[in-house]
Amino acid sequence: MKRLAILGSTGSIGQSTLSIVEQFPDRYQVATLAAGRNVDEAFAQAVRWRPKLVSLSSEELAAQLCKRLNEAGISGTQVVYGSEGTVACSTHPEADFVVSAIVGVAGLEATHAAILAGKPVGLANKECMVAAGEILTAAARERNVPILPIDSEHNAVHQCMRVGDHKEVKFIWLTASGGPFRKTQLSEFAAITPEQALKHPTWVMGRRITIDSATMLNKGLEIIEACRLFNVPASQVRVTIHPQSTVHSLVEYVDGSILAQISMTDMRLPILYALAYPERPASNLTFDLAALRHLDFEEPDFERFPCLRLAYEAAERGGAHCIALNAADEVAVEAFLDRRIPFTEIAGTIGKVLASTPESHPATIAEVLASDREAREKAHALVA
């Protein structure tokens, strides 16, 4: 029996994780839930799963949840709040496995604390690896703590890496759907509206990640994530446009063999893989091979998608540049969604923030967060 700490329990990965717990009651239990701002959902989850600990983002929300749990006659669930509350969830003595699915750098401290506490982590939060990958993987290696990627591409790579030796890997190939503007002319990019950018062809996701997919910055973050998770230089990570999103990623070995992972486009599969690793439990997530018609692969266009080039640059320089890439993008995407900057200025803003970022490699999470704040301030000034 694995007892789970779920960080980001009310988000889509959190809810999918709970549906896996529901499906495999003999394998998984809920120990703690870090729920953020959604009190209604946190209450429903606490009633259903009876965790030891629930964390909400603020003291006020925690008090609301406490009151509702009392009124419902539910005892045995402690309510905490803030970043300390999230850390309490991720390091709780009764948690054996931590699902890190809080969006943004908010989940960083708790994920780091979980690794320091020796708990295996299923990582769905790519910003953690981008901003602090060097720190997190060093801590994990030192303590021999597995970090299992839940991001579909990295999960696929993890699966393909199991059959070969690290030194035999030539390239990691991350697949990208190409987003809604795969065929859009460069001259039309400046006029792209938030409505157009929010339509993703294959995955239904949150707003920031959908825009990141349209600019391909999401793939850029994944390049950095792959470098850190699999300990390879950026030159060994390549991107291929695969509009069907059927192959979730590939690993090319030095002998010329390329291994690909194919499965349903459903996040429950990578979540189950991470939770059960190294086992593979039987599931009903069956892929219909007979329905498969085309697998197209093409080279990405760095001119129309400059965010990819910026991400390679950041990946090579590491440290503060990776932090700045992520932070500047978050600010720029928000400004684009508020119609304060055109689509093309998302990359423009990131490029300017990167250019003004001095070379540095934060050694602690506090330094990472300070560097993140600094980059955000620069980006805010640029989009104002």
With CB under 5 A as the contact rule, the residue among 153, 212, 372, 374 that binds Mg ion is 153
Taking the least distance from each CB to Mg ion, the nearer of 6 and 176 is 176
Say whether residue 212 binds Mg ion (CB under 5 A). Answer: no
Q: Does residue 3 sit in helix, strand or coil?
A: strand
- We find the least distance from the C-beta atom of residue 61 to Mg ion, in angstroms, to be 30
CA atoms within 13 A on the CB side of 81: 14
Shortest CB 304 distance to Mg ion, Å: 20
Query: Which CB, 29 or 249, lies closer to Mg ion?
Result: 249
Beta bridge partners of 302: none
Residue of the chain from 109, 127, 134, 151 that contacts Mg ion (CB under 5 A): 151
Q: Stretches 75-83, 147-155, 297-305, 352-360: which one binds Mg ion (CB under 5 A)?
A: 147-155
C-beta closer to Mg ion: residue 225 or 374: 225
Q: Is 30 strand, coil or helix?
A: strand
Q: Which is nearer to Mg ion, 55 or 152 (CB)?
A: 152
Structural Rg of the chain based on CA atoms: 20
d(CA 264, CA 154): 15
Among residues 222 and 372, whose Cβ is nearest to Mg ion? 222
CA 304/CA 296 separation, integer angstroms? 19
Q: Is residue 245 helix, strand or coil?
A: coil
Phi then psi for residue 5, to 5 deg, are -105, 120
Output the six-digit token pair for 63. Answer: 């008090």
Pick the stretch among 13-21, 143-151, 187-195, 304-312 that binds Mg ion (CB under 5 A).
143-151
Least spacing, CB of residue 202 vs Mg ion, in Å: 11
Residue 200 is encoded by which pair of tokens?
Answer: 């993703």
Closest residue to Mg ion, judged by C-beta, is 151
> Among 12-20, 152-160, 351-359, 365-373, which window interacts with Mg ion (CB under 5 A)?
152-160
Using the contact rule CB under 5 A, the part of the chain among 66-74, 153-161, 233-241, 243-251 near Mg ion is 153-161
Which of these segments, 151-159, 250-258, 287-295, 338-346, binds Mg ion (CB under 5 A)? 151-159
Cβ atoms of 311 and 217 closer than 8 Å: yes
What order of strands is seen across the sheet that includes strand 147-149? 78-81, 53-56, 28-36, 2-7, 97-100, 121-123, 147-149
Is residue 298 within 8 A of residue 240, CB to CB? The reply is yes
CB 220, min distance to Mg ion, A = 11
Can you give the binding site for Mg ion, defined by CB under 5 A? 151-153
